[in-house]
Amino acid sequence: MAADQGLGGDLRRIIRLAPQCDPTSLALTAEEGFLLSRIDGATPWRLLREIGGMDADEADLCLEGWLANGLVEVAGLASEEKRRNGTKVRAVRQRDVGAGRTELDESLIDAELDLDIDVQRRILSFELGLEQDYYSLLSVEKSAETKDIKRAYFKLSKEFHPDRYFRRNIGAYAERLERIFKKVLEGYEILSDPDLRAGLDEAEAVKVEPQSAGPFSSPCGEPAGPQRPLTKLERLRQRMPFRIPEKVLVERRRQAEELFKAAHLSERSGQLVEAASAVRVAISFDSTNAEYRRMLVDLQARIAEKKANELLAEGTSYSTDSTQLRKVLRILEDVLLYRPHDPGINDRAAAVSLMLGQYKPALEYAETAVEHSPEVGKYHTMLGLVYKETADVGHAKKEFERALKLDSDDVEARKGLASLRLGRVSAAQGG
Amino acid sequence: MGRVIGVDLGTTNSCVSVVENGQPTVIPNSGGYKTTPSMFGISQDGKRLVGHLAKRQAITNSKNTVFAAKRLIGRRFDSSEVQRSIDLCPYEIVRGPNEDPRIKIGGKTFTCPEISGIILREMKRVAEEYLGEPVQDAVITVPAYFNDTQRQCTKDAGKIAGLEVLRIINEPTAAALAYGMARQGDEKIAVYDLGGGTFDISILEMSDGVVEVLATAGNTFLGGEDLDRRIVAHLVSWFEEAEGIDLRSDTMALQRLKDAAEKAKCDLSLREATEINLPFIASDADGPRHLNYELTRDVLEGLVHDVIQGTLKSVEQCVQDAGLTPGEIDQVVMVGGQTRMPLVQQAVTDYFGKRPHKGVNPDEVVALGAAVQGSALVDEEQNVLLLDVTPLSLGISTYGGHFARLIERNTTVPVTKAHIFTTTRDDQSAVKIRVLQGESDIAAENDLLGEFVLAGIRPAPKGEPEIEVSFDIDANGIVSVSARDLATGKEQSITVNSTSTLSDDEIEQIIEENELYEVQLKG
């Protein structure tokens, strides 16, 4: 395909940093540094030319050079986006945004708008990287001085401040710009405040421990994993707090320490809920202490486990009362915060969501269950039921058949298949 | 594309400007003056007079001539500022139905936005005459310390004048834009703005057309008119001593003294002494008396020295807020006619250790900056970006009547800030979110912008529920606040409507009335 050939290669190639490469040891120009920062092992060559901040030819030369001297390597070829049907794509898209998706959705580009196509692309691709850590977001080094950070902020402001497109017909891009600018501003505010920046760097360092993943997903765009609750909590803590006088802070820290001691006592006597509650208050008094947060995360996970076990012991007979169902769903959601991949709980959550008529989450839960235990027939049945409810007959049929293949005694799946046939008949009659 | 005018709606004088061929230009009025007095009056025969015409009748018809209405706009009738104006102003100030001050002249009561609107309409007319085309859009400046209501009332004034107000920006910020638009490189500048009625100091940083506000401080009730008042008071007591006649209750004499004081003050910026001559200022049984007094610069400086020193307190605060030292300021820009005074120049030079920038006209620079911002918004060619800030802190009232700031004043907008709050009682099922604006740590001392209740919180021990309160200010300055229970996902939110002292209906009515009046004039 001629269109997919660049200077000397396939534009679909996905580039990643070579494992032994240490980018900080290289003498790069600012432009090269920016291009390098866009390389995340997921963005294809074609896109790197567009979002790398250089002319396409320059970017080609640069990338070819790095490829030649082993700084970067080819990770694979970008494939066409898989689309099964509308519902599916939407669900996936929503999920992927949070996970730092790096593929630009060309369907969002609108030639009717009073906004250059190139600018639209730039906005869309920048938006995809919004969840990166602040250093990458602003394209500054970890060691950058405040004045460099300010310069980067000014530069991005000039590009993304909503006032640049005042009164122009830019459709949904107005919201995108606002989102981008706010995020850039947040990064600038935090990185230009020595205390907050130190806190951020500390949180980054803590991130290595699996349980306490911070809000700052890896700059290289790997999915941050579905540790949504931690991300959320941490991110909220990281947002600029309002200023409190120093003497009040000292007093609060003291109270926090006492609460923390109390929490330890409760924990030792097995009162996990009380312990978590005390730690929460401690955190509200002193939100900078990483130890408190670690303890809270640990406690919450243990409480959720306990709740989950109790719940699983209760069996599957849910009352059909919707208030009761909602309560069950809430508990299941809580459990999922800590055990996001557990297929059994996802399956239950799907069932309850379906009973409540919440099809979108039901689909997500059912898919997750199938994804993590494709060998279990009843999970396919559940997914089939969800598809059936959303009138996606084709997929429903496929899932029921898969379920029966795995477990020929699955009554639900059989019933489902039968009702699909019935549905088709009545539809035909109705038509 | 229609052009955007920039209007410096001043306490004493107003000025309008527009960007032509990339350069901001002040538009002279039909009399050839670059500024127009912010005055409105009704003549003895019922004619409406604006600007120089109103000023001309101020002495003979002071009861029916409004000046310094900007000091009243957006304030409550009971506020000390309004009460002080009532004591000082020859025109009548009455209590309006919304607890707002209204001005009664020529047998008719006017709201403050209406008076400002009449002045803005005049500025609009000046611009239209000069440009030969209708003008619709405007950027209007206000003192940095104007609160939300004062800003909203200024916007309403624009509406009454038939203008669409694209932005309200701070006067010092505008001055910085005008100064900085043509400059390259990084600079930190201080804008010292001593106007007729207000004092503002702002510190800004600019780099290649991007202007960021670092800090602002000021005093809404300190300005050139305070100096005039000091001179008038001095003259009155001198006259009382010399002639034994108290002029304090004679409004016409006071108005003449005020004019003479202002003129003498300006004279003394250029020379060491000036003569104040007011024949027939009073009369008693012995016949007419004349006031004849020589005011020297030394005496004047002695009278107002503390006022000028008072401004330096704000300056120091502002430099500190910006995290700088006076020596780190690259340039000081002076705004407002009052800054021509040698004493002011000297005080500023002493403080910053460098002489103020000479390149801008202090009377015009604010209007020029407003026009620059107008063109930055609508003209893609204009390479200027103002990172504007919110003028006052925003937050909520918390347990014990404290004010928790979520968005600090001078925060760049658009912005979103969130913080987690919790309950104060066991099994508390609802929280009331009271949205406040102001700088006091005590909630009750700040302005209430709105309130709402978040109910349905799951029963839990106090301190356990996590309620995320999030403030959002969009690019147009519209504030919305939401509260979300992180456990249940329940959410409540409001969009804070700027509180004006006028309702939409009232504005409509005023616009209609004014249109009627326009027709009458032409007919």
Could you count the other beta carbons within 10 Å of the beta carbon of residue B14? 28
The residue that leads in pLDDT, A118 or A58, is A118
- Residue ranges of the domains in chain A? 1-80, 85-223, 241-310, 316-430
Whether B99 is catalytic: no
- Provide the token pair at B394: 């925003």
Query: For the ranges A115-129, A347-361, B54-68, which has the lowest average pLDDT?
Result: A347-361
- Residues facing B395 on adjacent strands: B405, B436
Longest Cα–Cα distance in chain B: 87
At B359 the three-state DSSP class reads coil
Q: What is the pLDDT of residue A313?
A: 60
> Looking at chain B, which residue has its C-alpha nearest residue A279?
B464
The residue that leads in pLDDT, A320 or B124, is B124
- CB nearest B377 (choices: A166, A185, A236): A166
Residues A9-64 pLDDT 10s = 677 777 877 766 666 666 677 777 778 777 877 777 877 777 776 777 778 777 87
Given a contact cutoff of 8 angstroms between Cβ atoms, the answer to whether B159 and B319 are in contact is: no
Phi-psi map region of B491: left, alpha, beta (phi>0 left; psi -120 to 50 alpha): beta
Q: What is the pLDDT of residue A111?
A: 86
Min distance A416 CA to chain B CA atoms (Å): 33
Find the mean pLDDT for residues B388-399. Answer: 89
Q: What is the pLDDT of residue A314?
A: 59
> Looking at chain A, which residue has its C-alpha nearest residue B423?
A281
> Looking at chain A, which residue has its C-alpha nearest residue B416?
A182
> Looking at chain A, which residue has its C-alpha nearest residue B206?
A154
- Provide the token pair at B12: 């004493």
Q: Which CATH superfamily is domain A85-223 in?
A: DnaJ domain (1.10.287.110)
Indicate whether B131 pLDDT > 50.
yes
CA-CA distances (angstroms) from residue A288 to A121, A197, A216, A239, B52? 38, 12, 16, 12, 61
Residues of chain A found within 8 Å of residue B418, distances taken between Cβ atoms:
236, 239
> Which residues of chain A are at the B interface, by a Cβ-Cβ cutoff of 8 Å?
147, 150-151, 154, 157-158, 161-164, 166-167, 178, 181-182, 185, 232, 236-237, 239-243, 277, 280-281, 284, 330
Q: Could you tell me if B404 lies within 8 Å of chain A, comparing CB atoms?
A: yes
Do A241-310 and A316-430 agree at the fold level? yes
Q: Rounded to an integer, what distance in angstroms lies between the CA atom of residue B173 and that of residue A275?
A: 51
Confidence of residue A78 (pLDDT cuts 50, 70, 90): low
Touching A: B residues 31-70, CB under 8 Å:
none
**Interface probe with B: pick from A146, A159, A166, most Cβ of B within 10 Å:** A166
Counting residues of chain B whose pLDDT is more than 70, the rounded percentage is 98
Whether B447 is catalytic: no
Whether B70 is catalytic: yes
Q: Could you tell me if B442 lies within 8 Å of chain A, comparing CB atoms?
A: no
Residues of chain B found within 8 Å of residue A262, distances taken between Cβ atoms:
none
Q: What is the pLDDT of residue A233?
A: 41
Residues B138-153 pLDDT 10s = 999 998 888 888 999 9
Indicate whether B522 pLDDT > 50.
no
| The CATH number fitting domain A241-310, selected from 3.30.160, 1.10.10, 2.60.40, 1.25.40 | 1.25.40
**Is cis: bond before A361, omega within 30 of 0?**
no
B118-127, B201-210, B451-460: range with highest mean pLDDT: B118-127
- Provide the token pair at A233: 């909590």
Residues of chain B found within 8 Å of residue A157, distances taken between Cβ atoms:
210, 385, 387
* pTM of model > 0.90: no
CA-CA distances (angstroms) from residue A185 to A134, A180, A293, B516? 10, 8, 26, 48
Given a contact cutoff of 8 angstroms between Cβ atoms, the answer to whether B319 and B326 are in contact is: yes
Q: What is the pLDDT of residue A236?
A: 43
Q: Rounded to an integer, what distance in angstroms lies between the CA atom of residue A280 and that of residue A292?
A: 8
At A74 the three-state DSSP class reads strand
Q: Which of B452, B442, B451, B432 is nearest to B405 (CA)?
A: B442
Contact state of B475 with A178 under an 8 Å Cβ cutoff: yes
In chain B, what are the domains? 4-182+361-383+506-522 (3.30.420.40), 224-301 (3.90.640.10), 394-489 (2.60.34.10)
Q: What is the pLDDT of residue B312?
A: 93
Q: What is the pLDDT of residue A6?
A: 40
Find the mean pLDDT for residues B339-343. Answer: 92
Residues B302-336 pLDDT 10s = 999 999 998 999 999 899 989 899 999 999 999 98
Find the mean pLDDT for residues A94-98. Answer: 39
Residues B235-272 pLDDT 10s = 999 999 998 889 988 888 888 999 899 999 999 999 99
- CB nearest A242 (choices: B378, B406, B487): B406
CB pairs under 8 A between A and B: 74
Q: Rounded to an integer, what distance in angstroms lies between the CA atom of residue B112 and that of residue B9?
A: 13
Query: For the ranges A230-244, A280-294, A399-413, which has the lowest average pLDDT?
Result: A230-244
Given a contact cutoff of 8 angstroms between Cβ atoms, the answer to whether A299 and A267 are in contact is: yes
- CB nearest B210 (choices: A147, A157, A240): A157
| The CATH number fitting domain A1-80, selected from 1.10.10, 1.10.3470, 1.10.540, 3.30.1380 | 1.10.10
| Catalytic hit among B122, B171, B205, B262 | B171
Query: For the ranges A178-182, A419-423, B101-105, which has the lowest average pLDDT?
Result: A419-423
> Looking at chain B, which residue has its C-alpha nearest residue A182?
B415
Find the mean pLDDT for residues A139-145. Answer: 92
Find the mean pLDDT for residues B429-451. Answer: 88
What is the residue-averaged pLDDT of chain A? Answer: 74
Residues A338-362 pLDDT 10s = 677 888 888 888 888 888 888 888 9
Residues of chain B found within 8 Å of residue A163, distances taken between Cβ atoms:
376-377, 385-386, 475
Indicate whether A104 pLDDT > 90.
no
Indicate whether B273 pLDDT > 80.
yes
CA-CA distances (angstroms) from residue A126 to A48, A138, A177, B115, B456? 12, 11, 10, 48, 38
Report the Cα B514 to chain-centroid distance in Å. Answer: 24
At A5 the three-state DSSP class reads strand
Q: Could you tell me if B324 lies within 8 Å of chain A, comparing CB atoms?
A: no
Residue B181 burial (CB < 10 Å; 0-12/13-18/19+)? buried
Tell me the helices (H) and strands (E) count for chain A, helix number first. 19, 2
Indicate whether A92 pLDDT > 50.
no
Min distance A176 CA to chain B CA atoms (Å): 12
Q: What is the pLDDT of residue B523?
A: 35
Given a contact cutoff of 8 angstroms between Cβ atoms, the answer to whether B11 and B198 are in contact is: yes
| The CATH number fitting domain A316-430, selected from 3.40.630.30, 1.25.40.10, 3.40.50.300, 1.10.287.470 | 1.25.40.10
Q: Rounded to an integer, what distance in angstroms lies between the CA atom of residue B10 and that of residue A347?
A: 68
What is the residue-averaged pLDDT of chain B? Answer: 89
